[in-house]
Amino acid sequence: MAAVKRFGGLTQVELAAATGLSAATVSTIVKELAAAGVLETTTTSRSGRRALRVTIARQAGLVAGVHIGPRGLTVALGDLAHEVVADQSLPLPVDHRADTTLDRVALLVVDLFEKVGASLDELQAVGVALAAPVDAATGIVAVRGALPGWEDTAVGPVLEKRLGKPVHLDTDATLGAFAEHLLGAGRPVRDLLYVRLSYATSAGLVLGGRLHRGGTGTAGQLGHVRVDPTGPLCPCGNRGCLDTEVGEAALLEHVRPALGDVTLRDVIRRARTGDPGCARVLTDAARRTGEVVAGLVTVLDPQLVVVGGELAHADAGAVEALRESVRRNSLPHRFATADVVAGSLGTRAELLGALELARAQTDVAEGVTG
C-alpha cells in the first residue's frame, strides 16, 4: 500500500521490485485489496508487454491541494476519503513571481493526474494554502510585503482559468489549524490555537469546532503583533512587529556573525543535527513567540495549542520553550491550563489542510456528509 501511494501508480511487476516481495505474493495481495475496493487495476503495456497497472482506488473524484511558501511549493492529489494519492514538491526562488509560480502549479497538477492515470475531469476542486494573509472578499494578499510579487494577483481566478475547476484559497496557518483539528493533534478539542513557526510567524484558530477566519479573512497574523513600539520597521508598514524579531530575516541576522550567509533551511538542519547555537536561536525565538501566544491564550482560552511549521519540527526544544513561555505569561488558571504540543502532521499540515478545504467545499456541493 505504502509503495503504491509513494509512486502514485505502478505495474504489478514494478510493485514486486519496489517492495521486494515475490510476483506471486504481490499478485495475491493486489487481488485481495482490489476485491476490498482499496486498489484499482487497469491493463496497460510496459515495454511492449501487457502489464497490470495498480493504483489506489479513488472514491468519488479527486481534489488537489497546493501549499505555496516563500521558498517552495508542494502540490498533492487526494481522494474524498482523506487519502493523499500523489504529491510533488518544487523549490522556488526568493521573491518568486505569482504568474510563473501559478503556471507551474497548474502544470504540476496536470502532471500528477497523468501520473496516477486519472483524467482532469475527475478533479472536483482545488485548495490553495498561501503563506500570506488573504483577503476573503477579493482573494488578494491583504498585507504589504507578506509575499512579495503576489500583491496584485487574485490567485483563485488565475488558477480557475487554467484548470477550469473551483479554487478555494486561504492562509496556510488557518489551513494548518484545519488539518490538525480534523486529522492531527487537535482532534479531541473544539477550541484550538495553531501556531506556525516558519519564515514568518502566524496562527490559525478553531473556535467552537469551527474554523475562525475573521471578518476579512486575515485572523491569526501573530507575526504582526507589536512587541516593541520603537523596534525596526516591518515590511507591513508598522514598527516592531513580532516578525522583526523572530521572522526569517531576524533569525538569519542572529546567526550571521557565526555562520555567514546561510539559509533558514541550514539553520533548521544544523539545529536538527545537534548544533547548539542554531538550536539556541530557534528556542529563543519560540520563547519570544510564546509571550505573544500567552496573550492569546489568556483572551481566547483554547483547550490546546498546537505548534507547527518547519522551525517547530526542527528541534524539540523549540516547542518546549514555547510551552514554558506560554505557562509563565498566560493567566494562571486554578484548575486547568491549555497544553502546548507539537503538531502531529509535521510540515505537511498546511498541504493536508488545503486538501481538506477542497474536500469540504466539494462535500457541501454534493451534499455528502462526513
Partner 1 sequence: MTHPEGPVLCVRGIDKSFGHVEALTDVFLEVHRHEVVALVGDNAAGKSTLAKIIAGVLQPDAGLIELDGQPVTIPSAAAAHALGIATVFQDLALCENLDVVDNLFLGRELHRHRRSWLRGDQRRTLAVDDAAMEDEAREILTALTSRIPSVRTPVHGLSAGQRQTVAIARTLLGRPRVVVLDEPTASLSVAQTAEVLTHVDSLRELGHAVILISHNMADVRAVADRIEVLRHGRNNGSFVASRASHEEILAAITGVTRR
Which parts of this chain interact with partner 1 (CB under 8 A)?
A: 3, 6-8, 10, 13-15, 17-18, 46-47, 71-72, 88-96, 100, 104, 107-108, 111-112, 115, 258-261, 263, 265-266, 269
Residue with smaller CB distance to partner 1, 7 or 231: 7
Residue with smaller CB distance to partner 1, 249 or 364: 249
Considering the complex, what minimum distance in angstroms separates the CB of residue 75 from partner 1? 9
Considering the complex, what minimum distance in angstroms separates the CB of residue 108 from partner 1? 6
Q: Which helix (H) or strand (E) holds 272?
A: helix 264-272
Considering the complex, what minimum distance in angstroms separates the CB of residue 51 from partner 1? 11
Residue with smaller CB distance to partner 1, 91 or 370: 91
Considering the complex, what minimum distance in angstroms separates the CB of residue 276 from partner 1? 14
**Cβ atoms of residues 108 and 162 within 8 Å:** no
Sheet with 9-11, strands from edge to edge, namely: 9-11, 49-56, 39-46
Residue with smaller CB distance to partner 1, 272 or 327: 272
Rounded Cα–Cα distance for residues 271 and 312 (Å): 11
Residue tagged 511549521 (cell numbers): 309
Residue with smaller CB distance to partner 1, 45 or 59: 45
Considering the complex, what minimum distance in angstroms separates the CB of residue 3 from partner 1? 8
**Cβ atoms of residues 176 and 201 within 8 Å:** no
Considering the complex, what minimum distance in angstroms separates the CB of residue 144 from partner 1? 19
Rounded Cα–Cα distance for residues 169 and 187 (Å): 23
For residue 198, which of 144, 157, 147, 155 has the smallest C-alpha distance? 147
**Cβ atoms of residues 231 and 245 within 8 Å:** yes
For residue 282, which of 260, 305, 310, 261 has the smallest C-alpha distance? 310
Considering the complex, what minimum distance in angstroms separates the CB of residue 61 from partner 1? 22
First CA to last CA distance, the chain: 24
Residue with smaller CB distance to partner 1, 112 or 195: 112
Rounded Cα–Cα distance for residues 239 and 253 (Å): 18
DSSP assigned state of 59: S
For residue 222, give Cα distances in angstroms to 132, 201, 242, 324. 12, 6, 7, 18
Considering the complex, what minimum distance in angstroms separates the CB of residue 112 from partner 1? 8
Considering the complex, what minimum distance in angstroms separates the CB of residue 265 from partner 1? 8
Considering the complex, what minimum distance in angstroms separates the CB of residue 221 from partner 1? 24
Residue with smaller CB distance to partner 1, 5 or 239: 5
Sign of CA dihedral 102, 106, 111, 116: positive
Residue with smaller CB distance to partner 1, 255 or 306: 255
The size of the chain, in residues, is: 370
Q: For strand 49-56 and strand 62-68, is the pairing parallel, antiparallel, or unpaired? A: unpaired
CB atoms within 10 A of CB 238: 16
The alpha-carbon radius of gyration of the chain (Å, integer) is 22
Residue with smaller CB distance to partner 1, 57 or 252: 252
Residue with smaller CB distance to partner 1, 233 or 258: 258
